[in-house]
Every structure is written in C-alpha cells, then in structure tokens.
A and B are shown apart, each in its own frame.
Chain A
C-alpha cells in the first residue's frame, strides 16, 4: 500500500463547475499537507499549505484536512480553463521530506 493514494483521473469538468480533488494517506505522523499544481513539463507550484487538521481558503481554492480520517481535499470553485493541470497532494512529518500522491490530471472544458 502506498503511503499516499490519489486518483490519477483524468478528471474533466465544464468551466464554472466546482472541482473536488482528494487524497488518502496511511501514515498518521504526517502533520503538513500541501497541494501543488503542475503544468505539463513544468515544476510543481505550491497552491495550498495546511498544518494539522482544518480548513484553509485562498481565493477560489479551499483545502481541507481531516486527520482522523486521514483524508485531505482541495476544492476549486468557479473553475477556469487555466486551472487545467495536474494537481499533486503532498505531505510531510516535519522533516522537509515530502511524500507525493500520484497526481490527478484535471481538464476544465470551456
């Protein structure tokens, strides 16, 4: 079993839809949770960062962490074609070493 599980998709939704992406994990020692966006042939770009459980909102993006269920989510409201990318969840125990999910390929159709 992988430490971090993420559905690779692909996921295709119409413009304006709410997108829900999620990851599950098995290591209860993870304390830091991140979502990265990666465009094709580019390095990952940090979107959201959360420490421990709770919600965090930044513009159209909301990140949720439920440590009791070992489940994290990223919601994208009013999705735009420019949001089309691969979204990677990542986690760490606090030693800077990140463990990534497989990434979900998202396409927003105009």
Chain B
C-alpha cells in the first residue's frame, strides 16, 4: 500500500548548524504534506502545511524562518531546521493525505533530532 518515508531517521547536530529532513510519498502523489513535532510523552503538534508549488502555511507560533519548508515535487517535501538549538531537539513527523479520498493521512516513521 501507500507509504510515506522520512530521511534521516535520526540525526545529531551541533548547535548553530542546519538540518534538512526529507519526506517522500513512495507510490502516490501528494500536493499537500503536513509536518508535526512531538515531544516525549506528548502528542503531535502540527507545525505547518506543505503545499506543492506554493508557500507553506505555518501554524500560529511556528517560526517560518526557523523551520523552512520546501515542497519540491509531488512526492517530496523537506523541512530544514535552521540554526538549530538544543530546544529544537524533538521528534519530527510528516504525513500525506491518503489517496483514497478519505480525510485521513499516512504518517512517516519520524525523524529524531538531537541538537548538542
């Protein structure tokens, strides 16, 4: 069935560097993808909606200059955490709407970011 992949699954970086996370829909096209952030033992918080061919839509309180989103193609969205700091350490998960038309989504396996 349809699958969403993420790369890398785990990344450690130094404070001040930038990290790019990729989200791919493997056998279906996704004009929209979503990026979530999840802290330990907490729920998923929607960060932004990634739109192919146009700017991403950010949720209130999410810094768009900090979290750069690019939806380069119908199967790829990227999230770049710029000038990362330890407080950016988290589990980042992307999702894409199911092609079936039902209003639900396939989720990627997540990327664990640790900023030292």
CB-based contact B108/A46 at 8 Å: no
Whether a CB of chain A sits under 8 angstroms from the CB of B93 is: yes
Asked if B103 contacts A94 (CB within 8 A), the reply is yes
List CB contacts (< 8 Å) of A86-109 with chain B. Answer: 88, 90, 92, 94-103, 105
| B103/A32 in contact, CB under 8 A | yes
Count residues on chain B whose CB falls below 8 Å from chain A CBs: 25
Q: Which residues of A contact B95 (CB under 8 A)?
A: 43, 98
Cα-based distance from A92 to B104 in the complex (angstroms): 8
Do A97 and B46 form a contact, CB below 8 Å, given A42-B109, A46-B104, A92-B103?
yes
Q: Would you call B42 and A102 a contact (CB within 8 A)?
A: yes
Find the residue from B4, B41, B104, B105 having the highest chain A CB count within 10 A.
Answer: B104
Which residues does chain B contribute within 8 Å of A94, judged by CB atoms?
A: 103
* Shortest Cβ gap from A46 to chain B (Å): 6
Query: Please, which residues of chain A bring their CB within 8 A of the CB of B107?
Result: 36, 43-46
The reply to whether A34 and B104 form a contact with Cβ atoms under 8 Å apart is yes
B43 proximal to A (CB < 8 A):
yes
Is B44 close to A, CB under 8 A?
A: yes
Distance in angstroms between the alpha carbons of A99 and B45 in the assembled complex = 8
- Nearest CB of chain B from residue A8's CB, rounded to whole Å: 7
Q: Which residues of B contact A45 (CB under 8 A)?
A: 107
Tell whether, in the assembled complex, residue B110 and residue A42 are in contact, meaning their CB atoms are under 8 Å apart. Answer: yes
Contacting residues, chain A, for B91 (C-beta < 8 A): 41
Within 8 A of B (CB), among A60-110: 88, 90, 92, 94-103, 105
Query: Which residues of B9-25 are within 8 A (CB) of A?
Result: none
Q: What is B's interface to A at a CB cutoff of 8 Å?
A: 4, 6, 32, 34, 41-46, 49, 91, 93, 95, 97, 102-110, 112
Known: A41-B91, A103-B41. 18 other contacts (CB 8 A): A31-B103, A32-B103, A36-B107, A41-B112, A42-B109, A43-B108, A43-B109, A44-B93, A46-B105, A51-B102, A51-B103, A90-B104, A95-B103, A97-B46, A98-B34, A98-B44, A98-B105, A99-B46
